[in-house]
Amino acid sequence: MRAAILSNGRFSVDTVPDPTPEPKAVVLSVSACGLCGTDHSIYSNRLLENGAILGHELAGTVVEVGRGVREWTAGDRAAVVPIPYCGRCELCTSGKQNLCGPGLAAMMGCGGAPGGLAEFVSAPVSSLRRLPGMLEPRLGALVEPLAVAWHAVRLGNIRPGTRVGVLGLGPLGLFAGLIARQKGALVFGTDYRAHRVAGAHALGLGAFTADDQPDDRIRDLTRGGPEVVFEASGRPESIERAAHLARVGGSVVLVASYHSPAEMTPGHWFNRGISLLPSIAYTQTDFEEALDAIATRRIDVGPLVIQPRPLDDVQAVFDSFSTQTDAVKLVIDPSV
Ligand SMILES: [Zn+2]
Ligand SMILES: [Zn+2]
């Protein structure tokens, strides 16, 4: 099969042996694989050894089943939960699966099993979640990142009428905004990139550019600040900004990952009673609820996806990753 192989900090599309179905596993033909900041961080910081195949946001069609597989047959379509939760640690058994150390360390496409930037992948039956036949494949690849936002919105305890701010309107910020709105929240976002603000407007979300005095506008529109601010920009300095934007007694949910220190004023957080809620990954329930929201079109993520690109474009996509300004989700279709 063809696969985008990471070697010495570059991708090359090579032919490698097809995966064979192991017991209690299937081989999927990958129909779409999304790329995100996690992939970019692995790539730019050279976190994986030569020969790795990235891709943890994937959907595909079953082409072969291994021994002992009864519930799946060729032609079935599935999204893959890429985290192999151990199911035994104290986090897995106390409702905090999303923090399972062995699971996160062995995440598919992120240091664990080979990922979805290939024509085929092997995936254990326990990782498969059925996709309805009519769903476009590229939407199946969005279940995983939607699950990340789903978990963040759940941590934020969003209810009808909750006032919400979103800092950073990339795919994760937009997903969080869309889910919060679907739960009845009043949502306002901001991004310094005008394209992304326009993308938020196209999805019907209130959003402001840096030139609009966004924090003042959001504070006015929410009469004193949001109860919940999602920090989705990944900029460390934005965490303190989120605490200033939130209303007294509110919370800041971190839905990005951060790679450098941030300056914070603990007294400000303390005196105003602002909670900090880091949201990493998702539980199986978050994943299943996100899938259901996409399948039933309660959350319409379609406008966020551009035409999927072929495997041969993977290097070009990573080259332009940091300069990409549109509010779009990057998706590769390895079958073309
Ligand atoms: Zn991702
Ligand atoms: Zn565990």
Q: Which CATH architecture has domain 2-142+305-332?
A: Alpha-Beta Complex (3.90)
Query: Which of 79, 81, 82 has its CA nearest to residue 32?
Result: 79
Q: What is the pLDDT of residue 322?
A: 75
Please give the helix or strand (H or E) that residue 26 lies within, else none. Answer: strand 25-35
How do the domains of the chain map onto residue ranges?
Answer: 2-142+305-332, 147-278
Query: In sequence order, what are the beta bridge partners of 3?
Result: 14, 118
Q: What is the pLDDT of residue 325?
A: 60
DSSP per-residue string spanning 177-245:
HHHHHHTT-EEEEE-SSHHHHHHHHHTT-EEE-GGG-HHHHHHHHTTS--SEEEE-S--THHHHHHHHH
124 CA to middle of ligand 2, Å? Answer: 17
100 CA to middle of ligand 2, Å? Answer: 4
Domains 2-142+305-332 and 147-278 in one fold? no
Q: 211 CB contacts (<8 Å, ≥6 apart)?
A: none
Its pTM surpasses 0.75: yes
Query: Which of 238, 225, 167, 228 has its CA nearest to residue 200?
Result: 167
Amino acid letter at 303?
A: P
Ligand nearest to the backbone CA of 329: 1
Q: What is the pLDDT of residue 327?
A: 54
103 CA to middle of ligand 2, Å? Answer: 6
272 CA to middle of ligand 1, Å? Answer: 33
**Assigned fold of 147-278:** Rossmann fold (3.40.50)
26 CA to middle of ligand 2, Å? Answer: 23
89 CA to middle of ligand 2, Å? Answer: 4
Distance CA 278, CA 212 (A): 28
Q: What is the pLDDT of residue 144?
A: 97
160 CA to middle of ligand 2, Å? Answer: 33
| Helix and strand counts by DSSP (H, E) for the chain | 11, 14
Query: Which of 62, 60, 33, 53 has its CA nearest to residue 115?
Result: 53
Please give the helix or strand (H or E) that residue 122 lies within, else none. Answer: strand 120-124
State how far the alpha carbon of 309 is from the alpha carbons of 11, 121, 141, 165, in Å.
15, 18, 13, 32
Ranges of residues in the chain with a pLDDT under 50 are none
Q: What is the pLDDT of residue 251?
A: 98
